[in-house]
Amino acid sequence: MAPVDVAALLTTAEKGAKDKLKSTHVAKEVDPELDLGNLLGSDLQPIDVREFMKDREAFLKNLARDNTQLLFNAIWKLPTERCEGLVLATLPESRTVIPREKPVPKPKPPTKWEEFAKRKGIKNRKRERLVLDKNTQEWKPRYGYKRANDDTKDWLLEVPANADPYEDQFAKKIEAKKERVAKNEYQRLRNIARNKKIAMPDKLLAPTATRPSKEQVSVKLNLSRVSTASVGKFTEMLPKEKLPKKTGKKRKFEPVVGDLSGERSRNLELAMKIARKEPLDITKALNQHIAETEKSASEANKMGAGKGRKSKGKGNSGKAGRSVGKKKKGKRN
Amino acid sequence: MRCQGKHQGSLAFACCRWQITNFEPALVVQEPRELCLRKTRTFKMRPLTEEETRSVFEKLANYIGENIKLLIDRPDGNFCFRLHQERVYYISEEIMRKATNIGRDNLISVGTCIGKFTKTRRFRLHITALDFMAPYAKYKLWVKPSGEQSFLYGNHILKASLGRITENTPQYQGVIIYSMSDLPLGFGATSRSTQDCRRANPTDIVCFHQADVGEYLRSENTLT
């Protein structure tokens, strides 16, 4: 009884297993569309509504299993390779375009230098990362840890001809480097502030360790001029001082049309002022003087030559008469 | 396209004056555009500012002196000065009001162009102003018929072609040039005073050329 039972059990178990393991072959009226690159299969066959209504769960499960089987069949047809006991299939390029999850990253806002470089057409040259170290004849990184031609490790430094001989050149070098790093950091922060549109203090208004430049002085001076309660209305002018051209005021023009009488009267006033303004022009005055003397001289000539000849007696008689009279007077007395 | 204006020869999309010469699309795209595009801004017609009025009047006063007020205050109607695209126009009020209906890009000229402001904001008279200046001229210079052509070609006036000149004309004075038949021909600036002219050699320049009616032909495309 027992062995029979075992055999029967085995057969039923085998049968059950066979039932469970369905065939890999799936028959479908419409072939599903497979995109192996994405491991995606889409079933194009219409649903048999009658079957579906009988038992929904079972129908869907069955359908899913069949379609998955088809997908796997297609995958097994792909070229495979064996690696560390695993079978790997190489998937083809995906065909379905899937929208990306996150928005496309925005391009980084350009730094001030990048903007300048673009304007001037300066392009970045790619340099090799490794360079040959002169001393060791080895290839080492251009910069950073264990760099080639490391000038920070110099044990000897030349004292420039015009430098103070007691100045520490090593300390000076370190200081210069620190200064450069600080400047870079400052510019980085300025770039961030610029791109985020944060108000920054004017570069020219920042306090300076050394003597301020001419530009800095003028900017500060012009700012201090308007930094009064009356916005610089009563600020006294220094002798020969020139007002800055950029006052920050927006240009405001008169209206194009409207009452023109005001404009006309203003223009008239200005015209009169300009016409009246005739400072003593020395050359002009001199020319006028020369002209007058020449004129009078020529007239005198005419008087002496032409006129005199015509009416000699008249002219002479007057002069003579006067002189004669005087003489006579004298004689009489 | 190559710029014919300030950016001589540089490629440009649009500029004050440009010309199409062997159009190279690939090159044009590569070229930085903002250089010349900056020049293309248009100016709205507007009254002159005080500073501009001053420079215009100072220039006019050089030729007609206090007679400017006759231009401003006219019995036959209201006239005004307007700036449009860096040019100064002398317009009757009525026409100016009508002109405001025309878009600034489309308005090429209105009234009489007196002159233009250079890029350094100096005022330069145009020959078109002659009609308004000639009746009020303070100092005049008459050119002999033999020298007329030379002057109308843009040359200075030599002593040889000097017909007559107003008495007491100072040196470097703005004068209106007339033909012997009293036809106004242009503007000039005397290089010598009247007295000095008498002593000058026949080949000496007595008056520097500034503008002449020949420009109506020579610079037809720039006069508005």
Tell me what the mean pLDDT of segment A8-21 comes to: 74
The mean-pLDDT minimum among A118-122, A283-287, B35-39 falls in: B35-39
The mean-pLDDT minimum among A55-59, A297-301, B6-10, B133-137 falls in: B6-10
pLDDT in tens, B82-92: 998 889 999 99
What is each CA distance from B64 to A83, A323, B55, B70, B182, in whole angstroms?
A: 102, 50, 14, 10, 17
Place A4 in a pLDDT band, splitting at 50, 70 and 90.
low
What distance in Å separates residue B27's CA from the closest CA in chain A? 14
- Check residue B18 and give its pLDDT: 39
- Check residue B180 and give its pLDDT: 92
| Token pair recorded at residue A238 | 């220094």
Tell me what the mean pLDDT of segment A197-208 comes to: 83
Taking an 8 Å cut-off on Cβ atoms, the answer to whether B66 and A276 are in contact is yes
Determine the residue of chain A that is closest to B94 in CA distance: A257
Using an 8 Å Cβ cutoff, are B162 and B144 in contact?
A: yes
Taking an 8 Å cut-off on Cβ atoms, the answer to whether A274 and B194 are in contact is no
CA angle A171, A174, A176 (to 5 degrees): 110
Instruction: Name every chain A residue with its beta carbon within 8 A of the beta carbon of B81.
Output: 267
* B73 DSSP β-pair partners: none
| Token pair recorded at residue B107 | 């308005």
Instruction: Name every chain B residue with its beta carbon within 8 A of the beta carbon of A251.
Output: 49
How far apart, in Å, do the first and last CA atoms of chain B sit?
24
pLDDT in tens, A22-45: 778 888 888 889 999 999 999 998
Q: Which of B161, B115, B170, B116 is nearest to B138 (CA)?
A: B170
Instruction: Name every chain A residue with its beta carbon within 8 A of the beta carbon of B78.
Output: 260, 264
Place A183 in a pLDDT band, splitting at 50, 70 and 90.
very high
Quick check: helix, strand or coil at residue B64? Answer: helix
Give percent above pLDDT 70 in chain B.
Answer: 81
What is each CA distance from B199 to A147, A163, B139, B203, in whole angstroms?
A: 84, 68, 20, 12
Taking an 8 Å cut-off on Cβ atoms, the answer to whether B47 and A119 are in contact is no
- Check residue A315 and give its pLDDT: 43
ipTM given for this complex: 0.72
Give percent above pLDDT 90 in chain B.
Answer: 41
Tell me what the mean pLDDT of segment B165-174 comes to: 89
- CB-based contacts of A292: which residues, under 8 Å, 6+ apart? none
- Check residue A171 and give its pLDDT: 94
Residue B117 confidence (pLDDT) above 80 = yes
The mean-pLDDT minimum among A95-99, A292-296, B33-37, B194-198 falls in: B33-37
Place B24 in a pLDDT band, splitting at 50, 70 and 90.
very low
DSSP codes, B126-189: -GGGHHHHGGG-SSEEEE-HHHHHHHHTTPPEEGGGEEEE-TT--TT-EEEEEETTS-EEEEEE
Distance CA A230, CA A227 (A): 8
Give this prediction's pTM.
Answer: 0.46
Tell me what the mean pLDDT of segment A223-237 comes to: 88
- Check residue A116 and give its pLDDT: 95
Distance CA B110, CA A256 (A): 13
Candidates B69, B82, B93; nearest CB to A271: B69
Place A113 in a pLDDT band, splitting at 50, 70 and 90.
very high
Residue B34 confidence (pLDDT) above 50 = no
Distance CA B91, CA B74 (A): 12
Mean pLDDT of chain A: 83
Taking an 8 Å cut-off on Cβ atoms, the answer to whether A281 and B100 are in contact is no
Tell me what the mean pLDDT of segment A202-220 comes to: 84
Residue B27 confidence (pLDDT) above 80 = no
**Dihedral over Cα of A159, A165, A169, A175: its sign:** negative
DSSP codes, A196-233: TT-----GGGS--SSPPPHHHHHHHHHHHHH-STTTTT
Q: Which residue has the higher pLDDT, B39 or A11?
A: A11
Candidates B53, B54, B171; nearest CB to A283: B171
Residues 74-103 of B with CB under 8 A from A: 78, 80-82, 93, 96-97, 100
What distance in Å separates residue A109's CA from the closest CA in chain B? 20
Taking an 8 Å cut-off on Cβ atoms, the answer to whether B72 and A275 are in contact is no
| Token pair recorded at residue B52 | 């501009």
Mean pLDDT of chain B: 81
* B209 DSSP β-pair partners: B188
* A27 DSSP β-pair partners: none
For residue A265, the one-letter residue type is: S
Helix%, strand%, coil% for chain A, nearest 5: 50, 5, 45
Residue B114 confidence (pLDDT) above 70 = yes
Pairing status of strand B79-84 against strand B87-92: antiparallel
What distance in Å separates residue B128's CA from the closest CA in chain A? 21
Helix segments in A151-277, DSSP class H: 169-195, 214-226, 261-276
Distance CA B141, CA B123 (A): 23
DSSP class of residue B4?
-
Q: Tell whether B51 lies on the interface with A, counting CB pairs under 8 A.
A: no
Using an 8 Å Cβ cutoff, are B60 and B48 in contact?
A: no
Number of residue pairs across A and B with CB atoms under 8 Å? Answer: 81
Residues 19-48 of B with CB under 8 A from A: 32, 44-47
pLDDT in tens, A265-279: 888 888 888 887 666
* B143 DSSP β-pair partners: B162, B179
Residues 102-161 of B with CB under 8 A from A: none
Place B146 in a pLDDT band, splitting at 50, 70 and 90.
very high
The mean-pLDDT minimum among A71-85, B1-15, B59-73 falls in: B1-15
